Each structure stands twice: as structure tokens, then as C-alpha cells.
Amino acid sequence: MPLTPEQVDLLPSEELRPLLKKFLAEFDALLKRIADLEAENERLKQRLDKSSNSSNSSQPPSLDQKTSKGEKKHRKPGPPFGHQKYSRPLVENPDRVIQIPVTECENCHADLTGVEPEDFERRQITELPAAKSIVIETRQHQTTCPHCLSLNRSALPEELNRSFGPNLEATVIYYKQTQHLSYERIVVVMRDLHGVNISEGAIASILERAGEKVAPVAEEIKEQVIRGEVIRSDETSARVKARNWWHWVFLSENGVYHTIVPTRSAAEITTVMGQLTAKAWVSDCFSAQLKAPAEVFQQCLAHQLRDLQRVLDSNPAELWAQAARKLFREAIHLRNRVLAGEMKLAGFYRRVTQVETQLDRLLEQPLTNEAARKLQNRFSTHRNKLLTFLHYPAIPSTNNESEQALRPRVIQRKVTNGFRSEWGAQAYAALQTILATAKKRGDQPFHTLAELMGPPVLPYAESSSP
């Protein structure tokens, strides 16, 4: 039973000592209990933060927590009812046409040889030729001059001064860069599909030479990219010689430029841009990106929507996050409608003014939810970078294209776990610049590679002399 202050005053000092010790012990126990509760509270907060997934953050889907699939639904196999039948389209210019005439009447067995058909039914078979490499041997003649007795040797044409032809080298690069095959698997594929025995060392040599050969072309593409009106940029980690480097990508309407460098600082952007200033820069919220030399900025709205979704996942009743998410989605839809010609410009500009006003009101609204308030503060800091795309038609609302440009590197990283040498990283970046730009321009990436690897050697297979 606790004592009152009056009762404590009446106690002698020898009786106060044990009571004081008891109270101190209880006080220490309470402090420990408070510390335990605070630690538990922190763990619960972290558990809520770990609810992040690919739908509410930049986390890749592969890291999402797998949920129980529940009871498996039994569905009749095959396409759904009413599904439109799809047939492989016929090519207009087949390599060979085989005529199959009617020779006998099925009814009366009369001879129909020579009777002109009224119509015919077309069918096509698509096949690959048997894999067989072509080996071209050169023999440089040596002749002694009968007049001066000098030994002369014929000059080897430049395009024949190699061990592998440009198509074979382009095939190896294609497997490595776009299909993300390891050296070991490229050896197997080249042997089984193409009948070529090649070592891992030869593959490494091909990639190194290719990187050096296309480096000047990659630099030309960089100069074209940084002169574009709207530049989109993103970065991801890369392991080079067991150290953390960074893979940057820069896109514009003119092409795609990849580079792998030691740091993630804004200085890397300055190195790429030089003295140029872009009209617009599209990126995520990374501080280095926001220091890029540009007149206006657009932050990726896909990132903002995911962050808002994370707030709603932890607190579904958060009205501010619901309103902000709805507003950003409406802004994206608004731009899509006007670009598709579904909306008149006067109505578009009127609605843009309303959206801007609504956003300002949302940023002034007092909030109690800590996560929502942090997001509101970030939006307020970068207010002029959120809706830029509504005022410039060439600026996209998201930075999805940059993230997609880095996706092959992310897959490559999972396969190889990084680069063992700096030349490997530089060669990969240069070759990826060539392939991504070719794809963006509508060119065939493989044909582009083959042309850059050197003059064709197949014409020599049809002739015994240069």
C-alpha cells in the first residue's frame, strides 16, 4: 500500500532507507520497461516501413514479399469464350513457291493434268537453314623476283586481316549485351547453334576490341544526346573490380548514352554535359540529378505516386494522400488527352490552372500524419518541378524511359555480378549506347553492330580472289 506524504514525514530515517532503495529499484524497472516499449515501438515502425513493395516504392518486383496464392481456381483450358482466332500472317514474298497441282478428280478419277486451276490455297512453312559456319582461308603468295632476286609477298586486304568475321563478332556481342549470356553459355551456343568452336578468352577479346571500335561512335551519340531539348537521366549501381561504381544513362530525342563511372555525384553530369544547358531535365528526386544544368525540371510522377501509395498502405484513411494521388493522376491523364486531340487547348489551359491551384492548396493543408507531412514538405520544396510537363508538350510526366534503358544492365548485373576490369565496364557502356540508340531510331541492332565491326567478308566466300 503506497504511503502518503504526511506518513512519510513521520517515518524515522532508518525506516526511510529501505523504502528509498525499494523505490529506486522500482524506478529502474520502470525505466527499463519504458526502454523496452520504445524499442518495440521502433520495431513496429520499421515493420510498417518494410511493407514497401514495387507498387509503392522503387523496390523491384523481385524483392516483393510473396503472398499465399490461396485456393487455386479451376478454369477450363484454352482461350476464353468469344476469343478471336489468331493465325500467323503470310509473308508476301516467300523465298520459294511450290506448286501442288490437282492431277486426278476425286469424284470420277478423270485425269486433270494440265487443267488450269480456278483458285489456290496458300500455306507457308518458316524454317531456319542448317547452322554452318563459313571458313575463308587466305594464302599470301611469296614470289622471288627473277630480275633482282627480292622476295615479295602479296598484301592482305584490310577486311581479311582478322580471325572472326563481322557477323560472327556481332553475334557474340548480341548474345552478351542483349541476351545476357555468360561467357560459358556463349561458348555452348556458338558451338551448338552455329558450329563454331570459340574459347572464353576469344569472346573477351572480341568484346574488348568491339568496345574500342565503337567508343568514338558512342561519343558522337553523346554529343547528339546532350543537344536534345529534353534530357532524361537515371543511374543504378555497378560493381567494377569488386568496387561500387555507377551506371548512368542519358536520353533525348536524338539517342541514348550510357556511361559507367566511379561516383554518383553531380560532377558526372557536368562531365557529360560540358558547357551545355538543357532546356528541360527529367529525373527522380536524387539531389545530383536536380543540380543538372537545365532551364526547367520535371520530377518523375511515377515516383511520387508510389510514395503516396506507400503512405496510403500504412494509413488508408489519409485524405491528403488520396487527394494528391488523384490530382497527379488527373494531370497525367489531362496531358494524354490533349496530345491525343481529345481536348481543346482552351479547355486544357483552363484545367491546368485549376490543377496548379489545387496542388498549392494541398501543400498548404496542415497534416498530422508524419509520413504524409514529410511527403508534403518534399513536394513544397520541389513545387516548380512537379507539373512542368503540363506547360511543355515535349516533356514527359515520368522518367520511365530512363528506368527501362537501365533494365538490361540490372539483368546483366544479376547474371555476372559485375565487371572484373574497367575496360569491361567501358566496353559494355559503349556497346549499350550503340544498341539502345539503334533501337530508339528504329534500326536493327544486330545489323548496326555488324556494320561497325568492319567490312563484310562473305563476298570473298563466293570468289577465290579479292
CA 153 to chain centre: 52
Instruction: Give me the DSSP letters along 193-205.
Output: HH-----HHHHHH
293 touches 43 (CB < 8 A):
no
> Which pLDDT does position 81 carry in this prediction?
74
Q: Which residue in 227, 228, 238, 231 sits closest to 260, CA to CA?
A: 238
Three-class SS of residue 281? strand
> Which pLDDT does position 314 carry in this prediction?
86
Give the C-alpha separation, 253 to 135, whole Å.
42
> Which pLDDT does position 245 carry in this prediction?
96
Instruction: Give me the DSSP letters along 320-385.
Output: HHHHHHHHHHHHHHHHHHHHTT-S-HHHHHHHHHHHHHHHHHHHHS----HHHHHHHHHHHHTGGG
The x, y and z cell numbers of residue 249, run together, are 544513362
Give the C-alpha separation, 462 to 441, whole Å.
33
Enter the DSSP assignment of 229: S
> Which pLDDT does position 278 carry in this prediction?
96
> Which pLDDT does position 58 carry in this prediction?
62
430 touches 220 (CB < 8 A):
no
**Positions of the chain with pLDDT lower than 50, given as ranges:** none
Give the C-alpha separation, 253 to 226, whole Å.
10
2 touches 19 (CB < 8 A):
no
3-state secondary structure 3-57: CCHHHHHHCCHHHHHHHHHHHHHHHHHHHHHHHHHHHHHHHHHHHHHCCCCCCCC
Q: Over the chain, what is the mean pLDDT?
A: 89
Q: Sign of the C-alpha dihedral, residues 451, 457, 463, 466?
A: positive
Give the C-alpha separation, 213 to 236, whole Å.
25
Q: Which strands sit side by side in the sheet containing 230-240, from one edge to the other? A: 255-261, 243-252, 230-240, 278-283, 294-299
